[in-house]
Amino acid sequence: MCGIVGTIGLPEGVSRELLPKMLHRISYRGPDDEGFWYGDFCAFGHRRLSILDLSKDGHQPMVNKITGDIITYNGEIYNYIELRSELQSKGIQFTSRTDTEVILWAYRTWGEECLGRFAGMFAFALYDAQRKSVWLVRDRFGIKPLYYSRVGNGVFFSSEIKSIVFESGLAYEANPVALKSFAGRRMLDFSCETFFRGVYQIEPGNHIRVDCMETGRDLLTQQRYYRIEDKIKPEYHSHRLSVDTIAELLKESVRLHLRSDVPVGTTLSGGLDSSAITVLAHKKSDKRLHHIFSSIPVISTPETDLIPEVMKLVDARHHTDSPHGENFFQDLMQLVYHQDEPFADGSMYAHFRLMRLCRENNIPVILTGQGGDELFCGYYHHLYVFLGSLLKAGNFASWFKMSGKMRDWYNNSFSELALFSLRHALPPSFKNYLINIRRDDGVRILSKDIRSAEIPEDTAYSGIGFYYHGYLNALMRWTLSGFLHYEDRNSMAFGIESRVPFLDHRLVEAVISVPPEIHFQMGCTKSLLREAMQGTLPESVRMQRVKYGFPSMLSDWLLQHSDLVKQWLEEWIDNVPVLNKKEVFKMFHNFLASGGKKSLNPLWRAIVILLWYRIFITKQISTTPVSLSYQAKEPDYS
């Protein structure tokens, strides 16, 4: 895992001046090594976090001395050993044990088709010496980030937006569409757009080929190389086959994700997803692992109460963190700085603290349960979309049968289930009308100019059926993209590689191919994962009925530090023109008067926008990255 930066089509003198500054801005992503390469048409920079082949042979940017190709790469190709063997059988000789060199030779051997062979997470820039072009690529699900921006006839790119915004010498404005979508619907993904006008992300499963001789705007067109909607296969329509196949694919994914030359740990909340990864990692690893979890003393949930049940099954070193309000406000500026873009709630702070705990205990690699909810239909939304699809199809017998199962599991009434089903079965135009009404409460915190921004119609996955439209959008765009964003920023802020075994593409393609009636066979969320984990997890964990996330005391913390919040609003909001001062103060007073029970979400989004705007747009708050200079324990490789 690393940080990458680069320029395309800029004079070499400009690149030599800017590239070190851009790379230094994200140096925390790679505390182990630094490298630069300057060519006639492009330049690459790299910060390395050493995970595989810790020797200097893993130095980047890496040059293939035979072909002349050069790469700067962030991520892990988990099946690199198998790919390396295949390439060696073709007569290719390797000079390192790194997955980076495997990418270089895979590209030269199979061309752009090599992407279909990679199992992992990746974002890279590869200079093709024969074509004199730069290939910018992002993995299938957007686990690793990659951003770019134009300057004249040239291009900047980076793992993080801050490298571009702070070091390019250009002034960037806030993107009204992004702000309105965020304030109204908590949206964090806007196709290729970001919260900054003129800064773009390469979308998941996309790539760009930039001709170094011609870097005009029309040549910066993203191309999809991975279409998840084309990966739905009919062979998983047997219930037993589906469960057995998913169980084996998940075990294999965890096995591959454990490949590392440094210590490995897992996050553990006591929930189904993190518990599954933790127990499977314990079974597949030949080394003693680390497990970390967050515990807020005044909060006890059924999930955190189940952590001891999981710990009984694993021989591991356990590390616990307990965030407090004082910590939160001390860290908040740095949290906003590291995220690059506004974030919707305070629950990610517990995760931020856990990544710091990993660094303090020298656990450079961590496996998480991220993606489990979106893949295995873990939200109530999934249940209601499925029920709505049955009503829409006129399949009333199946609706009553499934509703009965759900009523037994969740104690819902038939009338409640009917109401939610009908709501999700509404025509798109009417459903969007209702969503817009609900959105109005959040967008009131924004200025009139921002509120008037037109949000483009969302047509992604609209032609594949009612159920899959909701399922794949949650997996690829609506929900998971925001979680992957903070997973990357929080972990890399402390030089930690966060891995997500649920997002192995072979596992994902198998799970999405399972018919919805099998997904909800038990009348609850995650039926498929629950069945796949039978005999692996304690029954109390496997069959828990309520989902909780990372614990958060955001409301209490804001109340405890309301004087500081008031000070920020009074001193700064006049210089943040994207916010509606009157409405924000109204939200603040409603929040205080209700004892934190009202207006929490819009108030919090206003606070985050306020801090983000002053850090990134007007640059009136000078914030530095988290410090990695504290004393950390020696790594334990046993």
292-299: average pLDDT: 54
The partner residues of 426 in beta bridges, in order of sequence, read none
The residue ranking higher by pLDDT, 564 or 319, is: 564
Q: What CA dihedral angle connects 155, 157, 162 and 165, to 10 degrees?
A: 0
| Pairwise CA distance, residues 35 & 268, whole Å | 35
608-623: average pLDDT: 93
Six token digits for residue 439: 């959105």
Any idea what DSSP says for residue 580?
-
pLDDT at 521: 85
- Average pLDDT over the chain, rounded to an integer: 87
Instruction: Please give the full DSSP string across 262-310, using - where no structure is assigned.
Output: S-EEEE--SSHHHHHHHHHHHHH-SS-EEEEEE--TT---HHHHTHHHH
* Residue whose pair of structure tokens reads 């910590």 in the numeric block: 327
| Helices and strands (H, E) in the chain, number of each type | 27, 17
CA 152 to chain centre: 31
229-376+478-542 domain in CATH 3.30.70.260? no
* Residue whose pair of structure tokens reads 């909800």 in the numeric block: 520
Any idea what DSSP says for residue 184?
H
Does position 447 have pLDDT exceeding 80, yes or no? yes
183-207: average pLDDT: 89
223-252: average pLDDT: 88
Amino acid sitting at position 394: G
Any idea what DSSP says for residue 617?
I
**Which pLDDT tens digit goes with each residue over 98-130?**
999 999 999 999 999 999 999 999 999 999 999
| Pairwise CA distance, residues 621 & 603, whole Å | 20
Does position 469 have pLDDT exceeding 90, yes or no? no
With beta carbons less than 8 A apart as the criterion, state whether 134 and 8 touch: yes
With beta carbons less than 8 A apart as the criterion, state whether 368 and 487 touch: yes
* Residue whose pair of structure tokens reads 């804001």 in the numeric block: 558
**Which pLDDT tens digit goes with each residue over 318-328?**
778 777 777 88
Six token digits for residue 554: 């955001």
309-338: average pLDDT: 83
CA 361 to chain centre: 24
Backbone angles phi, psi at 298, to 5 degrees: -90, 0
pLDDT at 346: 80
> Can you give the residue ranges of every domain in the chain?
2-226, 229-376+478-542, 380-475, 554-617
**Shortest CA distance to 139 belongs to which of 207, 200, 199?**
207
Sequence-separated (6 or more) residues with CB below 8 Å from residue 209? 133, 134, 135, 136, 223
**Which pLDDT tens digit goes with each residue over 510-539?**
999 998 888 888 888 899 999 999 999 998
Question: Given the DSSP bridges, would you call strands 264-267 and 365-367 parallel, antiparallel or unpaired?
Answer: parallel
**Which pLDDT tens digit goes with each residue over 346-361?**
888 889 999 999 999 9
Does position 568 have pLDDT exceeding 90, yes or no? yes
Does position 299 have pLDDT exceeding 70, yes or no? no
Six token digits for residue 385: 């979309």
Backbone angles phi, psi at 33, to 5 degrees: -165, 160
Of the pLDDT bands very low, low, confident and very high (cuts 50, 70, 90), residue 549 is: low
Of the pLDDT bands very low, low, confident and very high (cuts 50, 70, 90), residue 455 is: confident
**Which pLDDT tens digit goes with each residue over 255-283?**
999 999 999 999 888 889 999 999 999 99
pLDDT at 464: 79
Task: Please tell me the CATH superfamily of domain 2-226, with its number.
Answer: Aminohydrolase, N-terminal nucleophile (Ntn) domain (3.60.20.10)
147-153: average pLDDT: 90
Handedness of CA 138, 142, 145, 149 (dihedral sign): positive
Six token digits for residue 177: 């569409």
| Pairwise CA distance, residues 534 & 539, whole Å | 8
Six token digits for residue 395: 């399949």
Of the pLDDT bands very low, low, confident and very high (cuts 50, 70, 90), residue 312 is: confident
**Which pLDDT tens digit goes with each residue over 405-414?**
888 787 777 7
Does position 561 have pLDDT exceeding 80, yes or no? yes
With beta carbons less than 8 A apart as the criterion, state whether 84 and 56 touch: no
| Pairwise CA distance, residues 462 & 466, whole Å | 8
**Shortest CA distance to 172 belongs to which of 159, 185, 182, 161?**
161
